[in-house]
Amino acid sequence: MARLLFLSLLLHLFKSAISVHEQALTTPPLPILPLPSYSQLKWQQREIIMFLHFGVNTFTDREWGDGRESPKIFNPSGLNAGQWAEVAVEAGVSLMILTAKHHDGFCLWPSKYTEHSVIGSTWENGKGDVVREFVSATSAQGIDAGLYLSPWDRHDSRYGHDILYNEYYLAQLQELLNQYGEVREIWFDGAKDPKAENVTYYFTEWFSMVKELQKSINIFSDAGPDVRWVGDEQGYASDTCWSLINRTSLSIGNPDITNYLNTGDPKGTDWVPAECDVSIRPGWFWHKSESPKSLTQLLDIYYNSVGRNCLLLLNVPPNTTGLISDIDAQRLKQFHSAITTVFQKNIAAEEDCSVTVSSQRGGKQGGFGPENMLDSDHLWTYWAPEEEGREEYWVEIRGRNNGSVRFNVVRVQEAIGLGQRIQRHEIYVDGKLVIRGTTVGYKRLHRIEGGVVDARVVRIRISESRGLPLISSIGLHFDPFWHSKFTAGFRE
């Protein structure tokens, strides 16, 4: 008996040695440039982050202050940044960005370079520091902090003088990035009244200062370098959305920059993924008369931002008390819980479905099989087809024993650590074309227009790609909140 055991152990060892050996023979596909940095990959996986527009506008009921506001009006008597961070945690958010200075030039921290700040406010007799409270609260909740420092400054008299203003701006960047611990994103807003004074922003100097002071930060500006603007403020990305752009062509001057930023560029030489900024309310700042968007609207934004290879930067403005209004906090919680409801269950992985592919790199033992699309790793394990030259790349999902699968959302994700590749894809249900899509990127979500589908065979076909398509995850999901225009009987 012992001998038999020994023999079978030996056989087992022998077998695993063979499979290790065979795996080693299959060379993984080469990445295709450009590639995301480590910080950009971390950023992308956050999916939803939060913006906090807060400042003198909160008290004047305006969106763009003119810089002539008295600092005295800033008095959020019940300010509690801990509440902001709790709201973020309950919404599943891991990074919050605060407007340390908006266009009105009023600073939420006691800057040494201006009087126009919390120092002159009624709040805490001028001894308070909102940025400090913000970073302490985020770090206490284990979430990351980001800061917004408006380039356009309507208060400071140095604005209008290139060198003077850039020196002032760099000094404030130093304050924010030296004194408040780790900052994971810095936001350089491109907004400006076209009639305002001309100032050349010394972006090269700003960016190098930022990278010098913060090692794992992502820099947002209209055109990157790490994160780009999606080109609108509605939270909707373009149907085609590359994380690639050519930054050289941008600095030379692109006539249709918004459109270019919207879609990205399949020939782009730089990895600069897009961020979709939108407010939960009509305005960016809190206004008594406004209320938050409905759950349906927020889900629509989610599918059209995160579901189109972007990050959603959702603004939730604190009110004049210095707290996030309860109605916004409740709506965020609903939003988070709805997303969890839809995506926690992957029908393709859980209901004994069979997943087959057109071909697989290195054969059955190659290590690049369809099972890699069903595990929890959405970056580094992936399905890879045989080398190029094949006519067809597809994944097919079938119900158990030819039974049907019931879903209304299809999810496809690329192994973006090896580059963004897919240019065109289609989804067929029982042989019928239901979705015609373009880019995929980190995450692509399709809601089926016709409503709920009962399908025996779902095929995801990749019809055009930069090199081999590499798919890290697929999912079939059921969204109970999705009632397409063809389905009657549902109103919120």
Ligand X SMILES: *[C@@H]1O[C@H](CO)[C@@H](O)[C@H](O)[C@H]1NC(C)=O
Q: Which residues bind ligand X (CB under 6 A)?
A: 197-198, 246, 248-249, 252, 267, 269, 319-321, 323, 325-326, 401-402
Q: Which helix (H) or strand (E) holds 288?
A: none
Least distance (Å) from ligand X to the CB of residue 402?
4
Least distance (Å) from ligand X to the CB of residue 415?
23
- DSSP per residue over 220-279, as a string? ESTB-SSBEE-S-SSS---SS--SEE-HHHHHH--TTHHHHHHH--TT-SEE--EEEEEE
Nearer to ligand X, 376 or 401 (CB): 401
Instruction: Say whether 405 sits in a helix, a strand or coil.
Output: strand
Size (the chain), residues: 492
Only one residue has tokens 């408006």, namely 150
Only one residue has tokens 């699968």, namely 405
Q: Which helix (H) or strand (E) holds 349?
A: helix 347-350
Nearer to ligand X, 26 or 80 (CB): 80
Rg (CA), the chain: 25
Which residue type is seen at 335? F
Nearer to ligand X, 80 or 463 (CB): 80
Residues 6+ apart with CB under 8 A from 182: 144, 145, 214, 216
Nearer to ligand X, 313 or 329 (CB): 329
Least distance (Å) from ligand X to the CB of residue 78?
7
Nearer to ligand X, 180 or 285 (CB): 285
Torsion angles phi and psi, residue 117, rounded to 5 = -160, -175
Least distance (Å) from ligand X to the CB of residue 130?
16
Residues 6+ apart with CB under 8 A from 256: none
Nearer to ligand X, 125 or 248 (CB): 248
Residue 302 vs residues 3, 220, 222, 313: alpha-carbon distances, Å: 60, 20, 21, 10
Nearer to ligand X, 172 or 246 (CB): 246
Nearer to ligand X, 42 or 466 (CB): 466
Least distance (Å) from ligand X to the CB of residue 129?
21
Strand order in the sheet with 48-52: 218-220, 185-187, 144-149, 95-101, 48-52, 311-315, 274-279, 228-229
List for the chain the helix, strand, coil content (%; round to 5). Answer: 30, 20, 45
Least distance (Å) from ligand X to the CB of residue 288?
7
Instruction: Say whether 336 sits in a helix, a strand or coil.
Output: helix
Nearer to ligand X, 216 or 321 (CB): 321
Which residue type is seen at 28? P
Residues 6+ apart with CB under 8 A from 27: none
Least distance (Å) from ligand X to the CB of residue 268?
7
Nearer to ligand X, 91 or 384 (CB): 91
Least distance (Å) from ligand X to the CB of residue 25?
32
Distance CA 174, CA 199 (A): 20
| Sign for the pseudo-dihedral over CA of 54, 56, 62, 68 | negative
Least distance (Å) from ligand X to the CB of residue 396?
12
Least distance (Å) from ligand X to the CB of residue 45?
28
